[in-house]
Chains A and B, each alone.
Chain A
Amino acid sequence: MWLQTLMPEAITDVSKQPDPRPISPFLIGPYYRPQLTSMLSIASRLAGIFVTALTMPVMFLYLLALAGGPDSHARFVTLLGSLPGKAFCLVSLLCLCYHLANGIRHLVWDTGRAMSLKAIYGSGYLMLAGTCVLFALVSWRALA
C-alpha cells in the first residue's frame, strides 16, 4: 500500500492503535470525512507541487529557448501551442490562480483574522470564486 511505503511507521489499522483518535487529519479517508476545509488545504499543496515540479521547469525552459535564439524559441512555442501544450498551460494557470487565492487567505489568517468556522467556510467559497474570476481573466488567450 502506498501509505506504508511513504510512511513505514504509520498505523493504518484503527484497531491496532492504543488510542484510535488521530492526532491530525492526515488520513482523510479512514479517520476524517472529506470536508471543504481539508480538501481546499490539500488542493493548495497539490497546486504548489504542480507549479514547482512542472510549471516552473517549463517556464525556465521557455526562457532558455528564448535565449537560444529565434529557432529554438519558435520550436518551443509550437510545442506549447499543441493540444497537450495548451492543456498543460491551462492547468498551470489554474494552479497559479488557486495557490495565489488560497495564499492570500492564509496571509489573512496569519494576522489572526477570519478564524471562526463560519469565516473559514466563507473565505473558502470567496477564494474559489476569486480563483474562477482570475482564471477566466488569464486563460482566454491560452484557449484561443
Chain B
Amino acid sequence: MSTADHSGLGHWKSQRLSSLLLVPLTLWLLWAGVALTGADYDSAVAFFRQPFHAAMALLTAGIMVYHAQGGIAVVCEDYVAHPGLQSALIWLTRLGCLVGFLATVYTIYVVWQGS
C-alpha cells in the first residue's frame, strides 16, 4: 500500500549515486582546501588553471550542490511541518545551490580567460 502521491525510489537512487560520487570528490575538496590554505592569488589561480583541478572543482560543485539540496529537502520534510515554510526553505536552498554552482562556473571561466 502506498500513501505517498509519488514514488520515492528516484530520490533514493539519486541520493545514493551522488553519495557514491562524492566519496572521491569530497576527498579532493579536502585536499584542495589544504593546498589552497594560505595560498596567494597567483598560486590559487595557478591551481584552478590546471585542467584536473578545474574539472574537479566543477564536478564537485555540481554533485555537491545536487546532493545538498536533496538532503536539505528531506530534513525540511521531516522537521518542518508548516507546508509553506517547508517548501520555502526547500526552494531557497535550491536557489542558493544553483547560484553557488554558477559562481563556480564563472570563477573557472574567469581564471581560464587569462591563460
Interface residues in chain A, defined as those with a beta carbon under 8 Å from any beta carbon in chain B: 6-10, 26, 45, 48-49, 51-52, 56-57, 59-61, 63-64, 66-67, 69-70, 73-74, 77, 81, 89, 93, 96-97, 100, 103-104, 106-107, 110, 134, 138, 141-142, 144
Number of A-B residue pairs having CB atoms within 8 Å of each other in the complex: 99
With CB as the reference atom, state the residue of chain A lying closest to B19.
A103
The answer to whether B33 and A93 touch across the interface, beta carbons within 8 angstroms, is yes
The answer to whether B38 and A51 touch across the interface, beta carbons within 8 angstroms, is no
The answer to whether A63 and B104 touch across the interface, beta carbons within 8 angstroms, is yes
The answer to whether A107 and B45 touch across the interface, beta carbons within 8 angstroms, is no
Give A48 to B22 CA distance when docked, in angstroms. Answer: 13
Give A103 to B41 CA distance when docked, in angstroms. Answer: 34
CB distance from A81 to the nearest CB of B (A): 7
Q: Which residues of A contact B44 (CB under 8 A)?
A: 66, 73
The answer to whether B64 and A66 touch across the interface, beta carbons within 8 angstroms, is no
The answer to whether B16 and A110 touch across the interface, beta carbons within 8 angstroms, is yes
Can you list 28 pairs linking A and B with CB atoms under 8 Å apart? A6-B79, A7-B81, A8-B81, A48-B68, A52-B68, A52-B93, A57-B100, A59-B100, A60-B61, A61-B103, A64-B103, A64-B107, A66-B45, A67-B103, A67-B110, A73-B41, A77-B39, A96-B29, A96-B30, A100-B23, A103-B19, A107-B20, A110-B16, A138-B30, A138-B31, A138-B33, A141-B37, A142-B37
B19-43 residues at the A interface, CB under 8 angstroms: 19-20, 22-23, 26-27, 29-31, 33-34, 37-41
List 11 other contacts, CB 8 Å, given A60-B99, A77-B40, A100-B27.
A7-B81, A45-B71, A48-B71, A52-B71, A60-B104, A63-B104, A67-B106, A70-B41, A100-B22, A110-B16, A142-B37
With CB as the reference atom, state the residue of chain A lying closest to B20.
A107
CB distance from A51 to the nearest CB of B (A): 7
